Amino acid sequence: MIENQKIKPTQVVGPLGEPLTLDSLPPADTTRWVVRRKAEVVAAVNGGLLSVDEACARYNLTLEEFASWQRAVDRSGMHGLRVTRIQYYKSLYERQQKY
């Protein structure tokens, strides 16, 4: 991440390989968070387009909520962001940690 630098990129690579800019991110008033939108916000933060604080303020997210999205992407990719599969991926990750 580029949080400590003052220079921010104008675009980063999105979760599907497309360029992401501040204008192409989900609107600030988004209430329906589909997998793609969550992944775009995580990619923007990971690429330095937004800081974690900026993303949380812009989208009215708690730090824990954003961190759970980031953890899900790190562990299982975009599939881990699906609400219907959270429990499955959580138990899968815990089983992998045991062995």
**With pLDDT > 70 as the criterion, what percentage of the chain qualifies?**
82
CB atoms within 10 A of CB 25: 20
pLDDT at 80: 82
DSSP string, 20-55: E-TTTSPPTT-----HHHHHHHHHHHHHTSS-HHHH
pLDDT of residue 89 exceeding 70, the answer is: no
pLDDT tens for each residue of 48-69: 999 999 999 999 999 999 999 9
Give the mean model confidence (pLDDT) for residues 23-36: 94
pLDDT tens for each residue of 5-16: 578 899 999 999
